[in-house]
Amino acid sequence: MKHQSVRFKEFGSPADVLTYETEPEEKLTSSDLKPNEVRVNIQFSPINPADLNYIQGNYGIRPDLPAIPGVESSGIVTESASDKIAVGDLVIFITRVGTWQSQVTCAADDLVVIPAIPPEQAAMLKVNPLTALCLLENYIELKPGDFIIQNAANSGVGQCVIQIAKQLGIKTINLVRRAELIPELLELGADHVLLDNTFVVEQVREICGENSPKLACNAVGGDSALRLMDAIAEQGQHITFGAMSMRSLKVPNKFLIFKRIQLHGLWVTKWLEANDHPTIQTAYHRLAEWVAKGQLNQAIDTIYKPEQITQAITHATTDKRQGKILLDFS
pLDDT digits (tens, 9 = 90+) for 64-89: 999 999 999 999 999 999 999 999 99
What's the pLDDT score for residue 79? 94
> Nearest-CA neighbor of 41 among 52, 25, 55?
25
72 contacts 131 by C-beta, under 8 angstroms? no
Instruction: Name the architecture of domain 2-124+298-328.
Output: Alpha-Beta Complex (3.90)
What's the pLDDT score for residue 148? 98
Q: What is the dihedral of CA 263, 93, 161, 159, to 10 degrees?
A: 120
Q: Rounded to an integer, what distance in angstroms lies between the CA atom of residue 161 and that of residue 176?
A: 14
> Nearest-CA neighbor of 104 among 20, 222, 3, 241?
3
Cβ count near 229 (within 10 Å): 21
Fold of 128-269: Rossmann fold (3.40.50)
- What are the boundaries of each domain within the chain? 2-124+298-328, 128-269
Q: Rounded to an integer, what distance in angstroms lies between the CA atom of residue 34 and that of residue 204?
A: 57
Output DSSP code: residue 125. Answer: S
41 contacts 75 by C-beta, under 8 angstroms? yes
Catalytic residue among 54, 59, 139, 304: 59
User: Which residues does the chain have with pLDDT short of 70?
Assistant: 26-31
Residue 59 designated active-site:
yes
> Nearest-CA neighbor of 298 among 113, 132, 114, 89?
132
Q: Rounded to an integer, what distance in angstroms lies between the CA atom of residue 39 and that of residue 76?
A: 9
